């Protein structure tokens, strides 16, 4: 059943609506639990679109196994999705810096507050992101260390490859996930794939994870495939950042997800005008390349990849 | 005057990104003035250019007090100004949300770090900045409620208002906030406009800086009288909000005093021209902020009033 979460009139003959689909169990009773799938806060991150569709397709096949409520919010920033804009167009605002919002505030603050109101009380919320248009990520869940006790066990059921517990930061207090976790609604931030694209393999992997998570929460009584055991990192030292030392065209050599030895070649930064290699990007340690740059132009400082140290990954 | 390049970043196809500083006087780091940090902050750039012209004259006339150094950075983001984009060209990040920066981080973190190294440790920091919503302001000084920039000192600018802003989480990465973390007394100066030049309010801002520096005995400059600024908390501004979206027709300008019940603006139906709503002043006050775009969304604070 399609429900309106927020609605605002735009200046010229258009109404902005944030909608969700509420999927209820066929029979009364059930566990009364609720899982909410949210995506599209960043309008150019589309991996979650496929997840919303695929999750419903699979649910439709076995509705009799649904014991709780599934709420699907595929587009909390519809204007951004429509205009290939990360933030909220016209305001140049990152929507994920507006929460918890203000019900009596501006249009954007009002919409943020309505979204929080609607999601509050869910037994689990998944906020699905797709990195950005520059970087590709392996399926992972990012958790603020303040909320790790509640969230890590949930994240372990979600079939991702990596759980990244990061330090608290004041700036992040205005995210959807922080605001919800702060009021006791467990919220997992999924990052996977890349902006402006869908990676079906990752989407399918996460949908498997959502079924597993629903089973754990008592929302699903049907089949759920076993999940992979994620690598968990809690120490900032576990991750090496590869930032461009020069501006140029980044031409990758290593595959995304590759396990690299120290000094292995990851890519080159070249100058197409002079036909010269400006820099070679090499692995600073043994590790797994869990992030790699997708957008080829780099400026000094641009992130080209991230490496998770071998001892954390636990492979031989 | 000493013109120096404070920070350089090489680009693949464009000219080097350069942050240029102008030093006047010598001695202890007394005051640093920063102009545009976003690509549309043309008024902020213009204000600095007028200050630089003034400081050159004062320096030539020996009117910068001995032992004081003044540094002016007209723009810390020429790269965005040249393509008329508010934020950083490649990734749309805001340099003024990257302080204190990180020298091994992403591009705008590196710029913030490189610039901050040059502009921190001054006794006073003055930044010409802009609001994220389009609109005209009454010229004023803003300071954060945490930190140690004091409203009495801010009054030395002699602008009509000193506004004390409650710190919000996203403020913690601004230049103003980080200046204070590193012991600089920081003030943000808002003039009337942003994306177009308003010579009168720029002149007012230049005079305000001259007022301030002369009261701090950093320059010798005769300040005529000067008014006593009113100190107001941002929570005490009264926001006049639209209930409807549509065409915005203001009936007041920033700085106008208004009477209780005075119509401030109409919102028109965009196809048929009917008045959808009229916004009124609830109290006799002064129009402090007035939205300056022809269209408006509903629930938007298009006008802010301040006590006269
Ligand atoms: Zn995102």
Same domain? For B260 and B156 the reply is: no
CATH number for the region A235-313 comes to: 2.40.50.100
User: What's the rounded mean pLDDT across residues B186-211?
Assistant: 94
Residues of chain A contacting residue B297, judged by C-beta atoms under 8 Å apart: 8, 10-11, 106-107
Q: How far is A87 from chain B (nearest CA, A)?
A: 10
User: What's the rounded mean pLDDT across residues A94-98?
Assistant: 94
Q: Does domain A2-232 have CATH number 1.10.357.10?
A: no
Q: How much of chain B exceeds pLDDT 90, in percent?
A: 92
pLDDT at B19 over 70: yes
Same domain? For B162 and B282 the reply is: no
When CB atoms are compared, the residue of B90, B104, B244 closest to A299 is: B90
Instruction: Report which of A230, A248, A243, A242 is spatially closest to residue A289, judged by C-alpha positions.
Output: A242
Distance CA(B249)–CA(A279), nearest Å, equals 56
Same domain? For B38 and B182 the reply is: yes
**Cα A17 to ligand 1 centroid, rounded to whole Å:** 20
pLDDT at A214 over 70: yes
The pLDDT of residue A314 is 83
Residue whose tokens read 């258009």: A14
When CB atoms are compared, the residue of A93, A134, A248 closest to B91 is: A134
The pLDDT of residue B228 is 87
The pLDDT of residue B131 is 87
Domain of residue B212: give its range. Answer: 2-233
User: What's the rounded mean pLDDT across residues B184-213?
Assistant: 95
Same domain? For B109 and B151 the reply is: yes
Same domain? For B281 and B169 the reply is: no
Instruction: Report which of B306, B141, B303, B288 is spatially closest to residue B227, judged by C-alpha positions.
Output: B141
Q: Average pLDDT, whole number, for chain B?
A: 95
Instruction: Report which of B295, B163, B303 is spatially closest to residue B239, judged by C-alpha positions.
Output: B303
Pinpoint the alpha helices (H) of B25-133: 42-60, 78-81, 107-119
Pinpoint the alpha helices (H) of A26-92: 47-61, 78-82
pLDDT at A32 over 90: no
Q: What is the CATH number of the domain that holds B241?
A: 2.40.50.100
Same domain? For B204 and B67 the reply is: yes
Contact B10 A247 (CB under 8 A): yes
User: What's the rounded mean pLDDT across residues B16-22?
Assistant: 97
The pLDDT of residue B132 is 82
Same domain? For B67 and B94 the reply is: yes
Candidates A114, A301, A303: best to mutate against B (most CBs of B within 10 A) is A301
Note whether B305 and B238 are within 8 A (CB): yes
Same domain? For B218 and B247 the reply is: no
- The answer for residues whose C-beta is within 8 angstroms of residue B283's C-beta and 6 or more apart is B238, B260, B305
Question: Under DSSP, is residue A207 helix (H, G, I), strand (E, B) or coil?
Answer: helix
Helix B42-60 and helix B199-215, axial crossing angle in degrees, nearest 10: 50
| A245 to A127, A242, A272, B103, B306: CA distances (angstroms) | 33, 9, 17, 11, 49
Distance CA(B76)–CA(B98), nearest Å, equals 12
pTM for this prediction: 0.91
**Cα A40 to ligand 1 centroid, rounded to whole Å:** 8
Residues of chain B contacting residue A105, judged by C-beta atoms under 8 Å apart: 299
Q: Is there a cis peptide before residue B100, judged by omega within 30 degrees of 0?
A: yes
pLDDT at B225 over 70: no
Note whether A203 and A126 are within 8 A (CB): no
When CB atoms are compared, the residue of B107, B241, B296 closest to A302 is: B107
B246–A contact, CB cutoff 8 A: yes
Nearest chain B residue (CA) to A304: B106
Q: Which residues, in sequence order, are bridge partners of residue B187?
A: B126
Instruction: Report which of B299, B238, B241, B242 is spatially closest to residue B267, judged by C-alpha positions.
Output: B242
What is the count of residue pairs from A and B with beta carbons less than 8 Å apart? 94
Contact A300 B104 (CB under 8 A): no
What backbone phi and psi angles, to 5 degrees, belong to A111? -60, -45
Same domain? For B59 and B193 the reply is: yes
Same domain? For B136 and B228 the reply is: yes
pLDDT at B171 over 80: yes
**Cα A86 to ligand 1 centroid, rounded to whole Å:** 8
**Cα A138 to ligand 1 centroid, rounded to whole Å:** 14
The pLDDT of residue A315 is 77
Lowest mean pLDDT among A116-130, A164-178, A212-226, B273-287: A164-178
The pLDDT of residue B21 is 98
Q: How much of chain A exceeds pLDDT 70, in percent?
A: 100
Q: What is the CATH number of the domain that holds B168?
A: 3.40.630.10
Residues of chain A contacting residue B247, judged by C-beta atoms under 8 Å apart: 11
A221–B contact, CB cutoff 8 A: no
Q: Average pLDDT, whole number, for chain A?
A: 95
B301–A contact, CB cutoff 8 A: yes
Residues of chain B contacting residue A93, judged by C-beta atoms under 8 Å apart: 132
Same domain? For B258 and B144 the reply is: no
Residue whose tokens read 């694209």: A197
Same domain? For B67 and B212 the reply is: yes
The pLDDT of residue A280 is 98
Question: Under DSSP, is residue A75 helix (H, G, I), strand (E, B) or coil?
Answer: coil
The pLDDT of residue B43 is 97
**Token digits of residue B64:** 């910068």
When CB atoms are compared, the residue of B9, B13, B97 closest to A300 is: B9
Lowest mean pLDDT among A87-96, A181-190, B40-49, B113-122: A87-96
A271–B contact, CB cutoff 8 A: yes
The pLDDT of residue A91 is 81
Pinpoint the alpha helices (H) of chain A: 47-61, 78-82, 107-119, 148-156, 176-182, 200-217, 310-313
| Long-range CB contacts for residues A105-110, cutoff 8 Å, separation at least 24 | A105/B299, A106/B241, A106/B297, A106/B299, A106/B300, A106/B301, A107/A8, A107/B297, A107/B298, A107/B299, A107/B300, A110/A6, A110/A8, A110/B299
User: What's the rounded mean pLDDT across residues B249-269?
Assistant: 98
**Using one digit for the tens of pLDDT, what is the confidence trace for A65-80?**
999 999 999 999 999 9
Distance CA(A123)–CA(A69), nearest Å, equals 10
The residues spanned by each domain of chain A are 2-232, 235-313
B49–A contact, CB cutoff 8 A: no
Looking at the 3D structure of chain B, how many domains does it have?
Answer: 2
Q: Given B233, B259, B274, which residue is the final one in a domain?
A: B233
């Amino acid at each position: 059943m399609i429900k309106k979460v927020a609605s605002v009139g735009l200046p010229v003959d258009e109404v902005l609506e944030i909608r969700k689909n509420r999927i209820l169990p066929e029979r009364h009773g059930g566990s009364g639990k609720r899982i909410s799938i949210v995506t599209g806060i960043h309008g150019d991150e589309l991996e979650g679109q496929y997840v919303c569709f695929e999750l419903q397709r699979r649910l439709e096949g076995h509705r009799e196994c649904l014991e709780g409520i599934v709420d699907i919010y595929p587009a909390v920033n519809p204007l951004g999705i429509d205009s290939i804009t990360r933030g909220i167009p016209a305001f140049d605002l990152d929507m994920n810096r507006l929460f918890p919002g203000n019900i009596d505030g501006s249009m954007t603050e009002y919409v943020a507050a309505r979204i929080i109101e609607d999601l509050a009380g869910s037994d689990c919320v998944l906020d699905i992101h797709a990195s950005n248009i520059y970087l590709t990520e392996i399926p992972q869940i990012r958790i603020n260390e303040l909320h790790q006790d509640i969230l890590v066990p949930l994240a372990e059921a979600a079939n991702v490859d990596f759980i990244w517990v990061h330090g608290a930061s004041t700036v992040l207090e205005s995210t959807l996930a922080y605001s919800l976790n702060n009021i006791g609604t467990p919220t997992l931030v999924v990052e996977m794939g890349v902006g402006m694209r869908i990676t079906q393999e990752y989407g399918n992997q996460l949908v498997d994870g959502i079924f597993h998570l629903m089973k754990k929460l008592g929302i699903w009584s049907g089949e759920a495939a076993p999940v992979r055991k994620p690598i968990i990192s809690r120490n900032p030292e576990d991750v090496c950042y590869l930032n461009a030392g020069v501006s140029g065209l980044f031409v990758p050599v290593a595959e995304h997800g590759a396990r690299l030895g120290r000094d292995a070649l990851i890519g080159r930064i070249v100058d197409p005008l002079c036909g010269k290699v400006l820099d070679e990007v090499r692995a600073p340690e043994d590790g797994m390349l869990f992030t790699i740059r997708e957008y080829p132009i780099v400026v000094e400082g641009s992130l080209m990849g991230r490496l998770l140290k071998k001892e954390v990954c636990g492979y031989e | 005057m000493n013109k120096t390049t404070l920070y350089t970043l090489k680009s693949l196809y464009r000219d080097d990104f350069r942050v240029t500083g102008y030093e006047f006087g010598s001695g202890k780091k007394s005051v640093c003035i920063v102009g545009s940090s976003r690509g549309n902050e043309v008024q902020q750039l213009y204000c600095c250019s007028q200050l630089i012209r003034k400081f050159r004259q004062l320096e030539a006339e020996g009117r910068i007090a001995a032992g004081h150094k003044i540094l002016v950075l007209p723009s810390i983001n020429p790269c965005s100004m040249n393509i008329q984009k508010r934020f950083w060209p490649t990734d749309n990040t805001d340099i003024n949300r990257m302080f204190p920066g990180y020298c091994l981080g992403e591009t705008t973190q590196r710029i913030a770090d490189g610039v901050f190294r040059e502009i921190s440790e001054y006794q006073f920091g003055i930044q010409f900045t802009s609001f994220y919503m389009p609109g005209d302001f009454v010229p004023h000084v803003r300071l954060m409620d945490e930190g140690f920039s004091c409203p009495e000192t801010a009054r030395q600018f002699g602008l009509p208002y000193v506004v004390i802003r409650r710190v919000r989480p996203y403020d913690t990465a601004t230049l103003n906030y980080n200046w204070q973390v590193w012991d600089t007394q920081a003030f943000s100066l808002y003039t009337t406009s942003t994306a177009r030049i308003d010579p009168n309010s720029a002149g007012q801002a230049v005079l305000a800086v001259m007022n301030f520096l002369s009261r701090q005995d950093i320059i010798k400059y005769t300040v005529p009288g000067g008014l006593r600024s009113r100190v107001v908390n941002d929570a005490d501004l009264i926001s006049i909000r639209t209930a409807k979206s549509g065409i915005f027709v203001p009936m007041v300008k920033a700085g106008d005093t208004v009477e209780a019940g005075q119509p401030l603006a109409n919102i028109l139906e965009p196809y048929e021209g009917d008045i959808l709503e009229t916004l009124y002043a609830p109290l006799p006050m002064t129009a402090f902020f007035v939205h300056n775009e022809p269209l408006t969304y509903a629930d938007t604070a298009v006008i802010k009033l301040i006590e006269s």
